[in-house]
């Protein structure tokens, strides 16, 4: 499977950051990070998804969280020092980022917004991030991802109920 050279990959090249581009078969019915993780051969907690959010004040932020977690909007609002945050609507995502759902990444987005990255990113030697298109992930060191994005570390996730119940 041919791996396209994306703007995100070009950004990493320009910064001299090493990465591996890994292609996978896209299932338009299942764009979940968990499905992507299976296809690229990594645990879901190492495949980070990028969400666009909007503060009540009108500012936008990227939230980058593990694929097996849910974003805690209150924690993001606290990290960003704003009153309230909600997920941006799907119709806002492409015009603001230049990316489609399932292919959103902070790197080389059409508009630069502050990025908050879940602190668990630092637990891994390698993490997987969307290359900016569906069907390609970029694998790199977390420190390199933070350098490329200017991402700020924060606790951003909810403990999912099934995890609390031990299963």
Domains of the chain, first to last: 17-158 (3.90.960.10)
pLDDT at position 28 is 87
Which of 48-57, 96-105, 110-119, 158-167 is least confident? 158-167
Q: Is the pTM of this model over 0.95?
A: no
The answer to whether the beta carbons of residues 35 and 25 sit under 8 Å apart is no
Which of 19-28, 140-149, 152-161 is least confident? 152-161
* pLDDT higher than 70, residue 163: no
More confident residue, 28 or 127: 127
């Amino acid at each position: 499977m041919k791996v396209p050279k994306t703007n995100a990959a070009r950004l990493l090249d320009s910064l001299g950051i090493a990465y591996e581009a890994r292609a996978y078969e896209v299932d338009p019915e299942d764009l979940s990070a968990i499905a992507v993780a299976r296809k690229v051969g990594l645990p879901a907690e190492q495949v980070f998804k990028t969400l666009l959010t909007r503060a009540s004040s009108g500012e936008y932020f990227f939230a980058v969280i593990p694929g097996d977690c849910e974003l805690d909007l209150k924690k993001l609002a606290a990290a960003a020092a704003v009153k309230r945050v909600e997920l941006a609507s799907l119709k806002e995502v492409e015009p603001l980022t230049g990316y489609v759902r399932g292919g959103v990444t902070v790197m080389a987005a059409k508009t630069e917004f502050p990025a908050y990255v879940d602190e668990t990113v630092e637990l891994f030697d390698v993490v997987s991030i969307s290359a900016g298109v569906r069907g390609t992930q970029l694998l790199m060191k977390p420190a390199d991802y933070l350098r490329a994005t200017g991402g700020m570390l924060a606790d951003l996730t909810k403990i999912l109920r099934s995890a609390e119940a031990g299963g």
